[in-house]
Each structure stands twice: as C-alpha cells, then as structure tokens.
Amino acid sequence: MKTFLLSTALLLGVFSAHAAIQSKTIDYMQGDTPLEGVLVWDDAVTGPRPGVLVVHQWLGLTAYEKHRAEMLAQLGYVAFCADIYGKGVRPKDTSEAGALAGKYKGDRQLLRARVNAGLDELKKSELVDASRIAAIGYCFGGTTVIELARSGADIKGVVSFHGGLDSPTPADGKNIKTKVLALAGADDPFQKPEDLTAFESEMRDAKVDWRLIFYGGAVHSFTQPDPGFSNPGAKYNERADKRSWADMKQFFAEIFQ
C-alpha cells in the first residue's frame, strides 16, 4: 500500500516539484526574552531568494503558521515563523490567548520590538535575499505586520489577513516605507467600522502605498480551518481563503519583481 501511494505520488508529481521542504527551529532573542521561531525553505531552490516573515494569530506559533510557511516555501520563498509571545509561551486556551494578544496589542512598542526581532532573524539567513522581504500575518499577526510597517521597517510589503487595523497612534502611519495590502472579511464583526475608517485615514494622510480588499461573505478568521473558538463571526471560508492567497501571490509578484 505504501509503495502504491508513493508511486501514485510520484506519478502525480507531488514530490518531484518540491522534493525537499526543510524546516529548522531557531532560538533567538528580543532583549532578554528568548523566542523560538521556525525557518522553512525548499532545498531544491538554489541561491538567495525573497524572504517572508509569518506572524501568528492569537494562539501563538502553531502548526497553522508552519503549514503556511511550507506553502510559501513551495512557492520558492524562505519563510520564517516569528514568535511574538516567547519560547514555550503557547496559550493552552482562548482565555490565555486573549490575555496574551491583549497584552501585546496594549503595548505596541513591545509588539514592534518583538516582530522586528523576527525580521532580523529572517534577514540573517544565508538563504535570503535581504533586499526582498515581506511579512504576512493572521488575525493578531495581521495587526502585528501593520505595526511592523508603522515601526518603519524597510521591507517590500506587508499583508494583513483579517487583522485588526486600529492604531493607538495613527500619526505613526508617516513612518511607513513599505507597501501595505490589507485583506478583510466583508462581514467580519470583529472589524469595527470606525477602525476601518481610521485605518483608511491613517494610510491616506501618510500617503502610504496601500490597498484594502473586502471578501464578500467572509467573516473573521476566514483563512483558518480552526480559529480556536466557536463563534459564527469567526469561520473558515474556502473561497475567501483561496482568493486571499492568490491576492497575496499577485502582490508578491509585484513587490519582488
């Protein structure tokens, strides 16, 4: 049976195109805080290539982000799953997740420091062309990559998947050097209209190169098969998942050209 499956896989070319997706756990620091991320790449690709930082949702760095990193590696990028919460800090339930996400959303300077530590780690990799870097993030991570932009990070672009777009310091929009793509569920009840309006004003006032896409019929967490809690306002949506991934790829094609 195993042989049959392997033969079928080879026939289908499953292993042939991306035979060697590799991953490595990486310990790194932000100040005195130990962090633990994961670097993922395709060994069949040679030479430096664009790097993509992947920032986790409120449950911390899970198998979900590693899976996205593998998908990015299959596209030929080097992906680094950043750790915002700290090594071993992996919330066991949504109560802990909410407290942790709240802590970092309430301390944007710390959040920026943490995500920049991940960016530095990605840039260090010999596999990466450090002049071609982007960052993507989901939910809490979608907020975080916008904060990365607001911190003035000199990268090519950030993509926020159903991230909160609010800012306690909208004037920081003026620091943004990178292109911004925000992807939102048109029916996301966690996305407050006033936050959207404030985000648009922030981008406009700072003359940022930005885009915002609303996916009809999609609520919060539309890319996540398991959003971590049961709520009709947070649900996987295959159509919006596929489209948002395609929109991200098109964005990368533009910024990495």
Task: By CB under 8 A, name the binding residues for a copy of itself.
Answer: 180, 186-187, 200, 203-204, 207-217, 239, 243, 246-247, 250, 254
Asked whether the beta carbons of 57 and 228 are under 8 A apart, the reply is: yes
Q: Largest Cα–Cα distance in the chain?
A: 61
Sorted by sequence, the CB contacts under 8 Å of residue 102 that are 6+ apart come out as: none
Closest-CA residue to 159 (of 175, 143, 173) = 143
- Nearest distance in Å: CB 127, a copy of itself: 28
Beta strands 128-138; 78-81: pairing state: unpaired
Closer Cβ to a copy of itself, 41 or 210, answer by number: 210
Closer Cβ to a copy of itself, 64 or 252, answer by number: 252
3-state secondary structure of 136: strand
Closer Cβ to a copy of itself, 209 or 226, answer by number: 209
Asked whether the beta carbons of 39 and 51 are under 8 A apart, the reply is: no
d(CA 256, CA 53): 14
Closer Cβ to a copy of itself, 114 or 150, answer by number: 150
- Nearest distance in Å: CB 180, a copy of itself: 8
Closer Cβ to a copy of itself, 25 or 201, answer by number: 201
- Nearest distance in Å: CB 118, a copy of itself: 26
- Nearest distance in Å: CB 80, a copy of itself: 27
- Nearest distance in Å: CB 44, a copy of itself: 26
d(CA 148, CA 151): 5
Supply φ then ψ for residue 22, to 5 degrees: -110, 150
